[in-house]
Amino acid sequence: MKRNKRGVSPVIATVFVLMLTVSAVALIAGFLVPFVKKSLYKSSECVNYKEVYSFEESLGYNCVQKTEGLYAISVKAKFDKELLGGVAGFRVVFKNADGTSKGIEVKNDTSASNEQGGIRLLGREGLRIPAAGETITYVYRGASGETFASAEVYPVLNSGTICGEKDSIELIQCKNRIS
């Protein structure tokens, strides 16, 4: 008895394995490449925004008026108008020595408030971020029992990313009355 054995030729098997390998690599690359690109962009997104906002000490603010629970901070923007185009605003974080903190975002579309937990411009109506080279003093009204010893300012990009690069300052007792 003679059996008829037929199988796949070695050439066809090799081509099939190569096609399967190329398909698998293409499928994995289709997911992996966009993921890596997005991760690299996110990790370097804040590089240009280092110190875009800083505290201005020459105005005599960056202080606390403890009896009223008012905190004044003067924030200065860099002179680079093009760089500020990528910035939506900034985040101020008030910190206490015991580790408690309170963060507030300031953007052009943020509402000003003189209520507890609110922030406003010193001596002016409304709330906005500083233009290139401009310094603006903000007043935060702490909630009952809140006491903070320092403040930090972080840029907030148009993408919503809050950059880790910051400026920080110790808050002193205000010499001038905050209104």
CATH of span 48-173: 2.60.40.10
User: Would you list the domain boundaries of the chain?
Assistant: 7-44, 48-173
Specify burial of residue 59 (Cβ count, 10 A radius: 0-12, 13-18, 19+). middle
3-state helix, strand, coil in the chain (%, to 5): 25, 30, 45
Task: Encode pLDDT of 149-174 as tens digits.
Answer: 999 999 998 888 888 888 889 999 98
| Reported confidence tier of residue 2, pLDDT bands at 50, 70, 90 | low
Task: Encode pLDDT of 72-96 as tens digits.
Answer: 999 999 887 777 778 889 999 999 8
Residue of 32, 56, 38 whose CA lies nearest to 161: 38
pLDDT at 74: 93
